Structure formats: C-alpha cells, structure tokens
Amino acid sequence: MSQSENTPGKPEFKQLWPTQFMSLSLPGHDTANPVLADHLLEQNIARDDMTVDYTSDNLFMTDHPAVIWLRQCCDRAVLDYARHAGIDYDLEWILQGWANVNMRGDYHNLHNHPHSWLSGTYYVSVPDQSDADTFRSDLNPSAISFFDPRPQANMNSIRNDGQVDAEHRLLPKNGDLFLWPAFLHHLVHPNMAEMPRISISFNVVLKWKNDYIPR
C-alpha cells in the first residue's frame, strides 16, 4: 500500500488497473504479406478447418522465411510490450500461432484466450469493404472489437468518459500487429467482401523457470 502525497488543494490522478493495448505497423509488410498470403491460402486448401482447429499445430514452428520474419517481429513486439508495462526483468515465452482465413460472411464470436499471458493478431490481408453489400448498418465489416474486462462497468457510463467506454473497435490495415492481455474478450466482425481476410493470431505463453517453483 502506497502513501498518498497529494499537495493540498491540488488533485492528482492515477489510472488504476489499466488494460494495455499495443498496435504497430510492421516495416517490410508490403514485401512479406503477399508471400505469407500465398503460403496460408495453400495451407487452407490442404487442411480442413485450419482456422478453427488452432490447437493442433503451431504455425511459428515452420521454417518458411516469411513466417520466420513474422515470428521475429512478434518476439520484438512482446519485448516492447513488457518493457512499456514496467517489466524490468527477463521473460521467456513461446509463441503459439495459427492462421485465420475468413471468406465472405465469416466472423469470430466473442472469446478470450485462456492459459496465456498475451494474445495478438497480425493482418496479412484485409480486403476493402467499401463496396460490400451489408444490408444493415451495424455489421462493422472486418473490424475487431475489444470489451471492458470489468463486468458491468459500462452501467455507469456517461458520454465521453473513456474509463467506462465498453467497446474499443478497430478496422485493421494490412501490416498491422495488435497485442493485448489474453484475458480481454474480443470478437471479429464479418468479412463482407468477396476476397478472403487473412490474419495470423497467436498466444504468448510464458515459460516457467525452476527458480520460480517453491521448494
């Protein structure tokens, strides 16, 4: 417990229990993404239910050059995330990744990623949705939404109060990498374009050291 040292008459503010979210556009994605797209589409043809059967294989264990490039970028992103969060000691982790190929109408229901520290997604190809026939205004084609992890916090919501805005929605671009705590619930809105939406999702699973085990 820390002791408050407020100056009399001057309010001080601290954001308690933040949910840190990281986004960046990977340099080199213009070159890597077409190669990744071809590789993942070939895998999608060869494997039934590749997008939903994500626990049976680890994409990052392959030796494909573009996948190796992405694995190195993801490892660097995890390190940057940890340092920004104030973690000043060494961590060891495993990246467990899988491909998502979403055809027209495909989406992902609300979920989170148990048994992991962080989760992330890299966007290989996000098709233009501007000409898609949506027939309704609330579909948010190809967007991804993240939700406040505090249950019912939005019941106190008032306009422009960012602390209780229940949904954070983003429309990714090719080359975007997002990283967030694995407990955070999220969903992916339908792809309404004729071209597939291709992404690579992954979990960051911490490796336990012997030094951490109580004796």
Contact 158, 136 (CB under 8 A): no
Distance separating alpha carbons of residues 151 and 206, to the nearest angstrom: 26
pLDDT tens figures, 89-124: 999 999 999 999 999 989 999 999 999 999 999 999
Q: What percent of the chain has pLDDT over 70?
A: 93
Pick the more confident residue, 14 or 145: 145
Distance separating alpha carbons of residues 124 and 176, to the nearest angstrom: 8
Residue 212's pLDDT is 47
The three-point CA angle 92-94-96 to 5° equals 160
Q: Which amino acid belongs to residue 50?
A: M
pLDDT tens figures, 70-80: 999 999 999 99
pTM for the predicted model, two decimal places: 0.88
